[in-house]
A and B are shown apart, each in its own frame.
Chain A
Amino acid sequence: MATTSSEITEIIKAQIKGFRGKAESVDVGTVVEVGDGIARIYGLAGCMASELLDFGRGVFGLAFNLEEDTVSAIVLGDYTEIKEGDEVRTTGRIAEVPVGDALVGRVVDTLGRPLDGKGPIATTETRRIDVVAPGVILRKNVDTPLQTGIKVIDSITPIGRGQRELIIGDRQTGKTAIAIDTIINQKGQGVFCVYVAVGQKESSVAKIVATLEEHGAMDHTTVVIAGASDPATMQYLAPYSGSAIGEFFRDAGKDALCVYDDLTKHAQAYRQVSLLARRPPGREAYPGDVFYLHSRLLERAARMNEENGGGSLTALPIIETQANDIAAYIPANVISITDGQIYLETDLFNAGVRPAMNTGLSVSRVGGDAQIRAMSKVTGSMKLDLGQYRELAAFAQFGSDLDKATLAQLRRGERLVEILKQPQYQPLPVEKQIVIIFSGTAGYLDDVPRERVADFERDLYRWMDVQAPQVGQLILKERKWTDEVEKAARAMIEEFKKANPYGEAKA
């Protein structure tokens, strides 16, 4: 874009001509004390809750506590710039972030300022960081699946667009991996993603961004970072910012996905801010409104009805537990807010079951509505088989003389567990998921040795691509598990098995 200096002069001239100076009418106060990201301000009698306050020199704050003569504000940014006696002005505004298509592919901080060195964000639209969630009249039922590309999730705990599904587990159980795989799988599905990193090491976030870039997932993703070294106020606000960025797409009639990684750290940042602002501590020293903290965030995930654009915002909050304790304060809160949870366990992870999802404790309360019909039909019997297998497996450890039916049940279960394993960064399209799960539940895997199930799976997918592409197309076209589809699938698997012998399974 070539602009000559005379043109610049013209532009500035026009702007100065058009400038209408108005007398600014604001409320003022004086900083009494400042420290730990909290400023106490005397005055500001007309200040509103959560109002943005101007400390001058480009530093802003949010009114947090309104007291009799003072206001406690949480400072966004560098509080060391603020001194006792400084004048503080109200702005009449609430904190906002820039939103829009220009944010796609960008890495930003809580206030939407770019962190990726790719220049300013070209958007004029902003949205309030903290808004009231849409009411029930504006919504409709969750009925469209959000394909995560992860077999065990799409089959057992399907996630719908507009749902809130919690990912919960101890450290190092693959919580973030599930979220990242889900984002990667949204490529080409028209779902815009926001990944909010709260209180994480900057190095881990950089690694995640690099992974997303490598898999081409940054083309539909915004990353919002409030790292471990950022002030607690920024960590407290980051999920709301991410949600606002996602809501832009929801309200434009598009689909969006927001990952909050993780809300445990978010609650801790809020606890820090609250205690510094002298709010009374409650259980585990969290303030009384931690439930509201998370409920008002997650309630913003919604599926809008047709009159309101029909867009959706799906939320995938992540919670880190200590020693599998899902009854602790914050985990129990978030479990009760969300529409289901994906529960990951260290034991399973170490046993090589990855994703380490505990299929017994994980649920999706939206359930079958968020699956295509073919998938819910095929997985119906799998949940039962898996449940019976878990029960039997515990008993089978003690005795060896089991009857035939029990042995068959165990064999089936082992193979089902095997096919639900999946390596990282390899999301699977839904038709392949359906075929492999059908192979398991229909007994085609019973004679395949357990350690060869992975080979069977890999080769079957290749066969589907090369020898029988019509089966996948048929499933996608019909979407239901009709007799015709089942016949085609059976024929393909039988033919495949004839061509590729995997040897007899040892009993």
Chain B
Amino acid sequence: MALTGSAARRYAEALLDIALEERKVDAYRESLDKVAAAFSGSLPFFRDPSRPLERRLKAAEAATKGEPTAIGSLVSMLIRRGRIALIAQIAAAYGDLVDDRAGIAKARITTAVPLPDAQRASVVGRLEKTTGKRIEAEFAVEPTLLGGATVQVGDHLVDASLRAQLDALRDQLAST
């Protein structure tokens, strides 16, 4: 993930530039997600060097028919370079870049018990205020937290769980 992440981002950045020129950012995203899903299932076929490259390219061309030309060219370029396996990561990276441009941040909110909708909205509202970004929240339940919540936005984690506080208390008691 990490080692190839930067390569995928390069392709995604290039694609975003083209999309911005053509003013089709969201259309590209939709199309790229669709293509990525379609190709992920048949990666062995497209990476198999025992099949002639021509045949694989033709098959890809047929599969991307109806998609924007840039997406079609991207797919055939990836097949030529033997990097078609990156397609799912490129799609994810492209999505992240688009979100980033639009000021949307992904947040993962984990609580010990499921939150009612009203509280979910209030948490998201608070997060949007502190980060200054639109929050696309993902909620999870983790009973081992015991209480409280952890909120992760990007790489940044705010741990306000009871578990973490108990751990800190234990460390403090053990050190004195």
Contacts and interface: CB of A to CB of B under 8 A. Distances in A.
Given A24-B164, A32-B1, A40-B2, A19 B157 contact: no
B5 A89 contact: no
Chain A: number of interface residues, binned into ranges: 20 to 34
Interface stretch (A41-49, A182-190, A458-466): A41-49
Interface in A122-173: none
B172 to A, nearest CB: 7
Contacts, number: 55
A24 B152 CA distance: 12
Interface string A1-40: 0000000000010011001010111111100100000001
B154 A26 contact: no
Interface string B144-165: 0000000010111111100011
Given A28-B152, A29-B155, A42 B2 contact: yes
A23 B160 contact: yes
B122 interface: no
B169 A16 contact: yes
A15 B172 contact: yes
A111 to B, nearest CB: 15
A284 interface: no
B131 interface: no
A15 B171 CA distance: 12
B157 A26 contact: yes
Interface string B1-36: 111011000000000000000000000000000000
Contact of A42 (B5, B152, B160): B5
A69 interface: yes
Contacts of B176: 15
A401 interface: no
Contacts of B158: 23-25
Interface residues of B, number: 20
Contacts of B154: 45
Contacts of A19: 168-169, 172
B173 interface: yes
Contact of A89 (B157, B165, B169): B157
A68 interface: yes
Nearest to B4: A69
Contact of B156 (A12, A25, A32): A25
A69 B160 CA distance: 26
Given A15-B176, A42-B5, A70-B2, A28 B155 contact: yes
17 contacts: A15-B176, A16-B169, A19-B169, A23-B158, A23-B159, A23-B160, A24-B158, A26-B157, A27-B157, A28-B152, A28-B155, A28-B156, A28-B157, A42-B1, A46-B156, A69-B5, A70-B2
Given A24-B164, A28-B156, 19 more contacts: A15-B173, A15-B176, A16-B169, A19-B172, A21-B165, A21-B169, A23-B158, A24-B158, A24-B168, A25-B157, A25-B158, A26-B157, A40-B2, A42-B5, A44-B155, A45-B154, A45-B155, A45-B156, A46-B155
